[in-house]
C-alpha cells in the first residue's frame, strides 16, 4: 500500500506581508508609515539566492552543498518503472498522460531538484540558489525583482537561454497553462520584461502578501521561444516531440507505452556551477512502463529495471524472498525522511450535493477501518494519519489555546464555536479484529438517519425525494492488488450501512481523465503538507479556484480556511506564521473533506546493489536521481556473478 512516494513530493513555499502593513495594523502614524514605505522602496538587496527571511544557509562562495559527494563518479545507468501508459512528452498539457520525468529537461532561474521534486538544497527548507540566474536583486518591500542571468547558459540545441525566453515562458503559462495556476499568477505578477538579453524584471501587485512571489517567478521552467515559434507547438496540447531544455538531462529516446531514456548531456553548460557539484551523476535514466504493479515487480526481480521505490506493503513484507535478494544482489532499505508525510486519503467530491452534509461524510468515514486494514492487508507497517502536518511542530493538538486561540477568536463568526472549545478532530478508531466494527456502523447509520437518508424496504438508503444514496470510487487498474483490497473492504462496510456503494476499476488513461474532470464521489488522492506559508496554499486549499483546480480534488471552499491562510501570509515572524499554520491544520481537519488513512515516516526502496549515496542523507531529500551515483565495481561484480 502506498506510504510515501520516494521520487515525487509536492511542497509549498512561502513568504509574508511587508513589515509596513503590520505596523499600520499596530496603529503607527501615517507619517511613520510613509517613511517605512519609502525606506523599503529605496533599499535594494542583492544576493546569490533567495529565502523570504534572507537567512540563506550557503554563502555566495559555497563550493557545493554539504551533503553531496563532490567527487561522485559520473557514469552508468539507473532504471525505474512507471505504471500504465504515456502518450505525450509535454508534461504541461491539459490532456493526455505525460511521460514520467518529462519535466526534468527544463531549468529555472533559481535551481530546483528537477527529477525528484524534493527541496533543493535537501538540508534546508524554502531556499533557492541561482541556476540560470547568477544573482538577483529586489527591493526590501519585494515589489519587484531583477534576475541577472548567466550568459553561458544554453539550451541543448546550442541556442542561448535569454531573458526573452524567460518572459516568453512566463506568458506561455498564463495563456496556455492550467487555469488555476494562471489565474493565481496573474493576480500576483503584474509584468515580466526583458531589460536586455540577460536581465529580466518581474513587477508584483501591491496590496497582497509578499510571499511566493520571488520564488514563484524564480522557479518557473524556462522554454526555448524560438523552438515554439518555429514549430507552432502549444503548451496545453499533448505531443511526443519534446522542446529542448537547458538541463543536464535530455530525452534520448522513447517507445510509447514501453520506455523512455534520458541521457546526461556532456555539453551541458552548467557543470562548473557549485549548485551542480556532486549531482546529476548517472549517464542515463531509463523509465520502463508496465501495465500494473505485479508485472512491474516481476520485471524488477528479473533485473529489467534496477531501482524500485516500494509502495506496496504486501510486497515489502513478503515479496523480497527471491534468489537475487537472498543472495544479497538486491538491497532493501528504509531511508530516513524528515518531510511531513503527504496527506493522502479518500477525498470527498464536495461538488456532489449528497456529500455537502458533513454528517454524511462522517458516516461514510466510519466505514473505513484503519486498524483492520493495517493488520490484515498491510502487515502492520503503517501508522494512522490524523493531521495535514503529521509529526511536525505545526500539528494541532487538543483544544486551541494561547496565541492560536486568540487568532481563531479574532476571525469572528466564520469560526464555529465548537472549534474554539473542542479538541481537534482526530481520525476515528476501529476494532482491528473484525472489518465491520459494529460500534462504528451503528454510529454511522444514526448519522445517516439524522441527515435524512432513511433505510427503505429494500435495505437501500433514500432521501425525501426518493433518491438512493449512491457512492462510487474509481481506482486505477495499474495500481496494486492491495489497494483494490483496501477499497473493496471499505465499500463492503458502506453497503452494510445501506449505501449503494461500488468501486470502478478502470484503465490508467480513463482514471486520469475522470480525476481531472472530478468525475467521482470519492477518490484516493493527496493534498500537500506545509512547513511554511505560501500563496500556493490558496491554490490547494482556497476558494477562488476551488471549482476547477486540479490541486484541490475535494473542491474545498471555506471562508474560515481562506481567512487563516491570509493570516499565515500576513505573519511578520516565523512564530506568528507557525501559530497560523497550526490553526490551518485544525481548520482543515474540522472541514472534514478527506478520510485520513495511513502514513510512513520513512521511504521504502529496493535496488540492485550497484548504486551508492553519501551518508548521512539530508533531512529533506532521499536524492535518488539527484545525488546518488553508479558504482562501477559493484555493477561489474553483479555481472561477474551472473546476477545481471
Summarize pLDDT for 319-374 with one digit per residue, the tens: 999 999 999 999 999 999 888 999 999 999 999 999 999 999 999 999 999 999 99
Question: So what's the pLDDT on residue 54?
Answer: 87
Grid cell for residue 585: 491544520
Cα–Cα distance for residue pair 597/367, rounded to 1 Å: 12
pLDDT tens digit string along 506-551?
Answer: 998 899 899 999 999 999 999 999 999 988 899 899 999 899 888 9
Alpha-carbon dihedral angle through residues 484, 487, 493, 499, given to the nearest 10 degrees: -110
Angle at 591 between CA 590 and CA 597, to 5 degrees: 80
DSSP 21-51: HHHHHTT--HHHHHHHHHHHHH-EEEESEE-
Backbone angles phi, psi at 474, to 5 degrees: -80, 145
Residue 152: pLDDT over 60: yes
Backbone angles phi, psi at 147, to 5 degrees: -105, 130
Provide the 3-class DSSP secondary structure of residue 482.
helix
Pairing of strands 330-336, 602-608: antiparallel
Cα–Cα distance for residue pair 267/269, rounded to 1 Å: 6
| Residue (of 473, 487, 586) closest to 523 by Cα position | 473
CB 439 within 8 A of CB 470: no
Cα–Cα distance for residue pair 503/488, rounded to 1 Å: 7
Residues whose CB falls within 8 Å of the CB of residue 464, separated by 6 or more in sequence, listed in order? 452
Residue 41 confidence class, pLDDT cut points 50, 70, 90: low
345-385+427-525 has which CATH code?
Answer: 3.10.105.10
CB 381 within 8 A of CB 2: no
Cα–Cα distance for residue pair 77/67, rounded to 1 Å: 22
Backbone angles phi, psi at 326, to 5 degrees: -65, -30
Question: So what's the pLDDT on residue 478?
Answer: 87
Do the domains 19-65+84-231 and 249-337+604-640 sit in the same CATH topology, yes or no? yes
| Residue (of 314, 342, 377) closest to 599 by Cα position | 342
| Residue (of 17, 202, 183, 40) closest to 573 by Cα position | 17
Cα–Cα distance for residue pair 316/181, rounded to 1 Å: 37
Alpha-carbon dihedral angle through residues 518, 521, 526, 528, given to the nearest 10 degrees: 70
CB 420 within 8 A of CB 596: no
Average pLDDT across the chain, whole number: 92
Grid cell for residue 198: 540577460
How far from the centroid of its chain's Cα atoms is residue 555's Cα?
Answer: 17
Residue 4 confidence class, pLDDT cut points 50, 70, 90: very low
Q: Is the peptide bond before 394 cis (omega within 30 degrees of 0)?
A: no
pLDDT tens digit string along 405-421?
Answer: 999 999 999 999 999 99
Mean pLDDT for 121-126 is: 92
Residue located via cell numbers 524556462: 222
CB 88 within 8 A of CB 96: yes
How far from the centroid of its chain's Cα atoms is residue 444's Cα?
Answer: 32
Residue 181 confidence class, pLDDT cut points 50, 70, 90: confident
Mean pLDDT for 442-466 is: 97
Grid cell for residue 393: 511542530
**19: enclosing H helix or E strand:** helix 19-25
How far are the Cα atoms of 14, 22, 32, 556 from residue 141, in angstroms, in the given order? 15, 12, 15, 32
- B/e letters for 297-306, b = 16+ CB within 10 Å, e = fewer, are bebbbeeebb
Question: So what's the pLDDT on residue 36?
Answer: 42
Residue 552 confidence class, pLDDT cut points 50, 70, 90: very high
Question: So what's the pLDDT on residue 418?
Answer: 97
Q: Which overall architecture, per CATH, does domain 19-65+84-231 show? A: 3-Layer(aba) Sandwich (3.40)
Cα–Cα distance for residue pair 632/549, rounded to 1 Å: 46
Cα–Cα distance for residue pair 320/310, rounded to 1 Å: 11
Q: Model pTM?
A: 0.86
Backbone angles phi, psi at 199, to 5 degrees: -135, 125
**Count of CB atoms within 10 A of residue 137's CB?**
14
Cα–Cα distance for residue pair 220/197, rounded to 1 Å: 18
Residue 33: pLDDT over 50: no
| Residue (of 535, 531, 532, 530) closest to 209 by Cα position | 535
| Residue (of 219, 272, 226, 265) closest to 246 by Cα position | 265
Q: Where are the domains of the chain?
A: 19-65+84-231, 249-337+604-640, 345-385+427-525, 396-425+530-592
DSSP 277-324: TT----SEEEEEEESSHHHHHHHHHTTSS-EEE---HHIIIIIT-SHH
CB 569 within 8 A of CB 575: no
Grid cell for residue 189: 505578477
CB 208 within 8 A of CB 188: yes
In terms of CATH, what superfamily is 249-337+604-640? Periplasmic binding protein-like II (3.40.190.10)
Residue 434: pLDDT over 90: yes
Residue 246 confidence class, pLDDT cut points 50, 70, 90: very high
DSSP 313-328: HHIIIIIT-SHHHHTT
Residue 176 confidence class, pLDDT cut points 50, 70, 90: very high
Cα–Cα distance for residue pair 243/241, rounded to 1 Å: 7
% of the chain with per-residue pLDDT over 90: 86
Cα–Cα distance for residue pair 53/48, rounded to 1 Å: 14
Alpha-carbon dihedral angle through residues 562, 565, 566, 568, given to the nearest 10 degrees: 160
SS3 per residue for 462-515:
ECCCCCECEEEEEEECCCCHHHHHHHHHHHHHHHHCCCEEEEEEECHHHHHHHH
Question: So what's the pLDDT on residue 114?
Answer: 78
Angle at 422 between CA 442 and CA 538, to 5 degrees: 100
Question: So what's the pLDDT on residue 95?
Answer: 86
Amino acid at each position: 500500500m502506498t506510504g510515501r512516494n520516494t521520487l515525487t513530493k509536492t511542497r509549498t513555499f512561502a513568504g509574508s506581508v511587508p513589515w509596513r502593513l503590520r505596523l499600520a495594523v499596530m496603529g503607527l502614524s501615517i507619517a511613520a508609515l510613509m517613511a517605512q514605505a519609502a525606506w523599503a522602496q529605496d533599499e535594494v538587496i542583492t544576493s546569490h539566492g533567495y529565502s523570504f527571511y534572507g537567512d540563506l544557509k550557503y554563502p555566495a562562495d559555497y563550493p557545493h552543498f554539504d551533503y553531496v559527494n563532490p567527487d561522485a563518479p559520473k557514469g552508468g545507468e539507473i532504471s525505474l518503472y512507471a505504471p500504465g501508459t504515456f502518450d505525450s512528452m509535454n508534461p504541461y498539457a491539459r490532456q493526455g498522460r505525460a511521460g514520467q520525468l518529462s519535466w526534468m529537461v527544463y531549468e529555472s532561474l533559481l535551481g530546483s531538484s528537477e527529477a525528484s521534486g524534493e527541496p533543493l538544497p535537501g538540508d534546508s527548507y524554502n531556499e533557492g540558489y541561482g541556476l540560470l540566474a547568477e544573482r538577483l536583486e529586489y527591493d526590501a518591500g519585494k515589489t519587484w525583482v531583477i534576475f541577472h542571468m548567466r550568459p553561458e547558459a544554453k539550451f541543448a540545441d546550442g541556442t542561448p537561454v535569454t531573458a526573452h525566453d524567460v518572459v516568453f515562458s512566463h506568458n506561455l503559462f498564463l495563456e496556455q497553462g492550467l487555469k488555476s495556476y494562471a489565474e493565481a499568477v496573474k493576480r500576483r505578477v503584474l509584468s515580466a520584461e526583458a531589460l536586455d538579453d540577460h536581465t529580466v524584471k518581474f513587477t508584483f501587485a501591491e496590496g497582497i502578501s509578499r510571499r511566493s512571489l520571488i520564488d514563484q517567478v524564480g522557479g518557473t521552467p524556462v522554454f526555448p521561444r524560438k523552438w515554439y515559434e518555429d514549430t507552432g507547438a502549444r503548451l496545453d496540447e499533448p505531443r511526443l516531440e519534446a522542446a529542448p531544455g537547458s538541463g543536464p538531462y535530455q530525452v534520448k529516446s522513447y517507445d510509447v507505452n514501453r520506455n523512455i531514456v534520458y541521457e546526461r548531456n556532456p555539453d551541458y553548460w552548467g557543470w562548473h556551477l557549485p549548485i551542480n557539484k556532486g549531482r546529476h551523476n548517472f549517464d542515463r535514466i531509463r523509465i520502463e512502463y508496465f501495465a500494473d504493479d505485479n508485472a512491474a515487480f516481476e520485471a524488477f526481480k528479473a533485473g529489467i529495471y534496477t531501482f524500485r521505490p516500494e509502495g506496496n506493503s504486501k510486497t515489502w513484507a513478503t515479496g523480497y524472498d527471491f534468489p537475487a535478494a537472498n543472495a544479497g544482489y538486491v538491497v532493501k532499505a528504509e531511508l530516513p525522511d524528515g518531510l511531513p508525510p503527504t496527506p493522502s486519503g479518500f477525498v470527498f467530491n464536495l461538488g456532489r450535493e449528497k456529500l455537502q452534509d458533513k454528517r454524511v461524510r462522517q458516516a461514510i468515514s466510519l466505514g473505513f477501518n484503519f486498524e483492520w486494514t493495517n493488520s490484515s492487508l498491510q502487515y502492520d507497517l503503517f501508522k494512522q494519519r490524523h493531521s495535514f502536518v503529521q509529526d511536525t511542530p505545526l500539528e494541532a493538538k487538543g483544544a486551541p489555546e494561547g496565541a492560536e486561540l486568540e487568532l481563531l477568536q479574532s476571525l469572528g463568526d466564520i469560526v464555529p464555536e465548537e472549534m474554539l472549545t473542542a479538541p481537534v478532530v482526530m481520525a476515528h478508531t476501529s476494532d482491528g479484529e473484525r472489518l465491520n466494527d459494529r460500534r462504528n456502523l451503528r454510529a454511522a447509520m444514526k448519522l445517516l438517519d439524522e441527515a435524512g437518508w432513511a433505510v427503505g424496504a429494500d435495505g437501500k438508503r433514500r432521501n425525501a425525494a426518493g433518491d438512493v444514496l449512491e457512492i462510487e470510487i474509481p481506482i486505477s487498474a495499474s495500481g496494486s492488488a492491495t489497494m483494490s483490497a483496501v477499497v473493496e473492504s471499505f465499500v463492503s462496510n458502506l453497503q452494510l450501512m445501506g449505501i449503494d456503494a461500488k468501486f470502478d476499476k478502470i484503465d490508467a488513461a480513463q482514471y486520469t481523465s475522470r480525476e481531472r474532470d472530478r468525475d467521482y464521489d470519492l477518490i484516493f488522492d493527496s493534498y500537500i503538507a506545509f512547513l511554511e506559508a505560501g500563496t500556493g496554499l490558496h491554490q490547494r486549499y482556497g476558494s477562488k479556484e476551488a471549482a476547477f483546480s486540479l490541486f484541490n480534488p475535494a473542491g474545498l471552499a471555506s471562508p474560515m480556511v481562506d481567512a487563516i491562510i491570509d493570516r499565515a501570509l500576513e505573519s511578520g515572524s516565523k512564530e506568528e506564521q507557525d501559530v497560523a499554520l497550526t490553526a490551518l491544520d485544525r481548520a482543515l481537519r474540522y472541514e472534514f473533506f478527506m478520510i485520513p488513512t495511513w502514513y510512513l515516516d520513512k521511504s521504502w526502496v529496493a535496488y540492485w546493489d550497484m548504486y551508492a549515496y553519501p551518508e548521512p542523507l539530508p533531512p529533506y531529500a532521499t536524492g535518488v536521481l539527484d545525488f546518488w551515483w553508479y558504482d562501477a565495481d559493484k555493477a561489474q561484480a553483479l555481472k561477474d556473478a551472473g546476477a545481471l
